[in-house]
Amino acid sequence: MMLPKHVKSIPYGLTDYERIVTDNYYYVDKTHFIPRIEQAASYFFLIRPRRFGKSLLLNVLDSYYDINNAERFEVLFGNQWIYQNETNLRARFLVMRFNFSAVDPRPERMEASFETHCQIRFLEFTGRYKRFFPANFEEEVMKYPTAADRLQYINKTASDLGLRIYLFIDEYDNFTNSILATMGRDAYRHATHGEGFFRYFFNVLKVMTTSSGSALERMFITGVSPITLDDVTSGFNIGSNLTIDQQFNGIVGFSESELRTMLNYYHTEGVLTMGVNEMVKEMKPWYDNYCFAIRSLGDESMYNSDMVLYYVAHCLRNGYPPDEMIDKNIRTDYGKLRHLIKVDQELGPNFSVIREIVETGQTTANLSDAFSIEKMLVPDNFKSLLYYFGLLTIQGTQRGAAVLAIPNHTVREQMYSYLIESLADADIFRIDIYELARLIQQMAYDGQWQPVFAYIASELEKQSRVREFIDGEAHIKGFLLAYLGMTHYYMTLPEYELAKGYADYFFQPNARLTDMPYAYLVEVKYMKRGEPDSHIPTLKADARIQLLKYSGDEMITSNIGQAKLRLLTVVFRGWELVDMEEVV
């Protein structure tokens, strides 16, 4: 559907603020954070998950502080909060920008690519502010051999001329994370330790931020973790890490009130076929529930802005929501993090953390805001890393530590993938996901549910290495949950997601598959190895009571559509499936 010309477009995939405001795109106004940023720190460091709006934020700040935009304030910000609340620093800086996602992470290309990117940015800077410097300034800058040397020369010259520089570094750790993921720790250390070029670049920045009379008065750095900055600066002391500061909880992403304001705009314009409440209800369990500061608990949680724009853009374009709730770009980003779970193809302590999260939905940690790659395996550091990546969010506190939980269905799917792929990569357990999907399709459409559990049990029987990982009730339930949640027929909700007291799993039909005839509530009972068969009837009787109790709950009945709800009991003894039946 073509939008009327006067209706604002959705800026899905756009980070160019000037284009957004001049080409009539919808902008969720974050300019009220500008005075807060100014007052909080001159050298500001912010960690947020990928595709959460960090690049757009930097472009907003670029447009606001650029001295070249002194006469364009109304054009760029006339409709934003900051227009009536401008600060004394507006349009007072020469702006220098880097985006290290443009650096090629291949070892043979990395340093040259870094230098090329910086050279392009320096040429952009000298051209952008040519009128402030001597006629031969660009030529003099290019005489220096490295990015770090050129940066020092620019800073010195600007300082002598009484100029002020605001430096932005977007995705500062993008290529170093790629190195770590694809080439391992040795290649990563080469760039970030000792005399590595990246370490030298940040050492120069550190000197500039601590020197009196430096032209570099302000800096804003974004990334997805604190690891690289800790490594390249020998400890985080290049700026203020305000990632978990309460006043910046909503600096990127969308709050629900911001989301509803946007949806109400399009609804009022008559271009949405779905109701606002209907859209929010569908998006919330997939995109919402991020909290980035303990003191923000109880306030509005944040939605992933990229996923919201993906969904809304599809609704405006087609008149109905996307078949796939997860943007494929998000899947790609999360897929790059798998390397953190295993060490040299063997499952380490990080795998145990992933398993705990899948089994219980949460973990506890003292959040770390700075740690080196050498200390990534420390449990609190790894859990902190999952939080920074957006795979966990702050849900509460317990005994002085943060309770970190899976925020939504999108992330839960990734956690299932991490557990399954880690077991396969370590040659502990492999299963044919296509065969499992075929069997779950029969479960969904033909009511043939027994083959699903029988298939998983038969693979457990054949692959003995996995048995040491499923010794206990929580382990078998988490194991089943991961594998049963890997197809698109059902959203497999565990007990901890639904509410305390529900059956172990609710197989909620995919809302897009309106012809699916069956939904399921499943209660898994567990016996220790060696327990006699005589215990099975008691377990099944308990399961029956639970299933009948919860089958009439509104939470269940309101989410099955036209499907018939079936109640299943499955009994395991250790890793062995010993009984399964339907409660009628």
User: Domain-by-domain residue ranges, the chain?
Assistant: 29-248, 254-334, 433-584
**pLDDT number for residue 194:** 63
- Measured CA angle at 25 (ends 22, 26), to 5 deg: 125
Q: What SS3 class is residue 399?
A: coil
Q: Check if CATH label 2.70.50 holds for domain 29-248.
A: no
Q: 4, exposed or middle or buried, with CB in 10 Å at 0-12, 13-18, 19+?
A: exposed
Digits of tens for pLDDT over the chain (584 positions)? 678 989 999 999 999 999 999 999 999 999 999 999 999 999 999 999 988 999 999 999 999 999 999 999 999 999 999 999 999 999 999 999 999 999 988 878 888 999 999 999 999 999 999 999 999 999 999 999 999 999 999 999 999 999 999 999 999 888 877 777 667 677 777 777 667 788 889 889 988 988 889 999 999 999 988 887 777 776 556 788 899 999 999 999 999 999 999 999 999 999 998 999 999 999 999 999 999 999 999 999 999 999 999 999 999 999 999 999 988 887 766 766 666 555 445 567 788 888 899 988 999 999 988 887 778 778 898 899 899 999 999 999 999 999 999 999 999 988 898 889 888 888 889 999 999 999 999 999 999 999 999 999 999 999 988 888 777 888 899 999 999 998 889 999 888 777 667 788 999 999 888 899 999 999 999 999 899 999 999 999 999 999 998 998 888 888 898 999 999 999 999 989 999 999 98
Q: Are strands 342-343 and 346-347 parallel, antiparallel or unpaired?
A: antiparallel
Q: 494, exposed or middle or buried, with CB in 10 Å at 0-12, 13-18, 19+?
A: buried
**Distance set, CA 250 to CA 73, 136, 255, 299, 405 (Å):** 24, 44, 7, 10, 19
What distance in Å separates the CA atoms of residue 514 and residue 324, rounded to the nearest whole number?
14
Q: What SS3 class is residue 570?
A: strand
**pLDDT number for residue 499:** 66
The 3 state secondary structure assigned to 43-111 is EEEEECCCCCCHHHHHHHHHHHHEHHHCCCHHHHHCCCHHHHCCCCCCCCEEEEEEEHHHCCCCHHHHH
**pLDDT number for residue 344:** 43
**pLDDT number for residue 227:** 80
